[in-house]
Amino acid sequence: MGKPEVWFAIPSANPAKCRQNLPAWRAMGYKIAVLQNFERGDIPADLVVWSDHYPGWPGSVNLLCRDIVPADCPIIVTGGDDMLPDPNHPAEVLAEQFFGRFPDTFGVMQPHGDEFLSARRYCGSPFLGRAWCSTMYDGAGPMYAGYHHNYADNELYWVASGLGVLWSRPDLSHFHSHFTRDGAAQPAYWNSVKKNDLRDCLLYYARAHERFLGHAPRGRVCKYRHPDDMTNMLILATQRLLIEGVYSPAAERITAALTTCAAAGQDSVAIYGFGLHTKLASIALSEPPVPIACIIDDVVANQGRRPWNIPIVSRAKALAMGVKAVVLSSEAIEDRLWANSEMFRAAGVPVYRLYGKAEPSAIPLPVAV
């Protein structure tokens, strides 16, 4: 019986990058699988599957691990077409080390020798054990697929760490040949990454506060330990939000909703949600086109506070106040807020969604862009 194969499995929209970098992985003993999208092209890989739809980076990784890489492969390495393997340790050597640490393959090993783009704070090119891939997120895959591109690697880092199965390896290096490293031109597909970056950041921020809801592995008993102090967990997300400045897409969407309310004569509006989304939209609350009667929040500790001189109240209190409309202020948990706002819709109070598709009982809202 031969040594087990180790596969490098990635999505790619850049055949030229694949032709440039994949030979280095093959030379170090890896098999290669690529989920190709956006641009077709011949590339040096063992398996190439075309996808008309890009399910995002983590969604692509889940698909590769589940349906493309052979099921008997015990270790899968992922990342991007701009990543290079550690030049000093062949795949079979690293596989032996991985098995020594995680004999049941339930674990994550991340080379952290290259610190470009604050890489030590996330798992951007991890070794994923087969048991991790097949059981995490109730069997859905090794990563949370709700992200488009960024912050999925942050969640992977903290979930694996919290479960006690993250092996950070500063002695190993995956060189990240990112286009920003040497000032190269931005690839065409990068526009979709930028377009979704703030959404990914807000989603990560919300999920971190919810202890990465739904991460539990199917069929395994694991105790997850969430840090009491989340400063390190949130530092990259906080830095990203500071870049956003005073005005943000969240403010644009809430302003559009409030303008719609004003046009409909709804002169007493409630904002539902006192999370980061609402805080980023503070400029929209300072001089609104319609009176904001209250902010609804389900966290009892927040009720009674008066940010921007607007009282935070419960759903029942807001309904008793006679609000004429409710605006949901969250993207990450908008579906949950929508379900919780059924009591308003049942009372004939319109509820506005900023992101999801409006249900028949809601008034459609034009989305600002």
At residue 243, the pLDDT reads 63
Same domain, 308 and 188: no
Same domain, 232 and 264: no
Q: What is the mean pLDDT of the chain?
A: 91
Same domain, 59 and 116: yes
Q: H or E stretch including 188?
A: none
Same domain, 71 and 124: yes
At residue 298, the pLDDT reads 95
At residue 2, the pLDDT reads 65
- Alpha carbon distance 329, 341 (integer Å): 12
Same domain, 49 and 179: yes
| pLDDT tens sequence across 224-253 | 999 999 999 998 888 787 666 545 788 889
Question: Which among 212, 243, 274 is the end of a domain?
Answer: 243
At residue 357, the pLDDT reads 65
Is 359 a domain residue? no
| pLDDT tens sequence across 319-365 | 999 999 999 999 889 999 999 999 999 999 999 999 986 543 343 44
Find all residues with CB under 8 Å of 362, minimum gap 6, and list them.
345, 350, 351, 352, 353
Same domain, 157 and 271: no
At residue 179, the pLDDT reads 87
Of 366 and 284, the one with more pLDDT? 284
Same domain, 328 and 189: no
Same domain, 97 and 167: yes
Order of strands, edge to edge, in the sheet holding 312-313?
312-313, 292-296, 269-272, 325-328, 351-352
Same domain, 22 and 110: yes
- Residue owning tokens 């409006």: 358
Give the rounded percent of residues in the chain with a pLDDT score beyond 90. Answer: 76
Question: Is residue 366 scored above 70 in pLDDT?
Answer: no
At residue 292, the pLDDT reads 95
Per-residue pLDDT, averaged over 304-309, amounts to 89
At residue 241, the pLDDT reads 75
Per-residue pLDDT, averaged over 97-102, amounts to 98
DSSP output for 267-327? -SEEEE--SHHHHHTHHHHHS-SS-EEEEE-S-GGGTT--GGG--EE-HHHHHHTT-SEEE
Window from 55-69, 173-187, 255-269 with minimum mean pLDDT: 173-187
Per-residue pLDDT, averaged over 169-180, amounts to 94
CB 58 within 8 Å of CB 145: yes
Same domain, 88 and 218: yes
| pLDDT tens sequence across 264-291 | 999 999 999 998 889 888 878 878 899 9
Per-residue pLDDT, averaged over 44-69, amounts to 96
Tally of domains within the chain:
2
Is 226 a domain residue? yes
| pLDDT tens sequence across 126-163 | 999 999 999 999 999 999 999 999 999 999 999 999 99
Q: What is the pTM of this model?
A: 0.73
Same domain, 206 and 275: no
Range of the domain at 278: 249-352
Q: CATH number of the domain that 165 lies in?
A: 3.90.550
At residue 245, the pLDDT reads 52
Is 54 a domain residue? yes
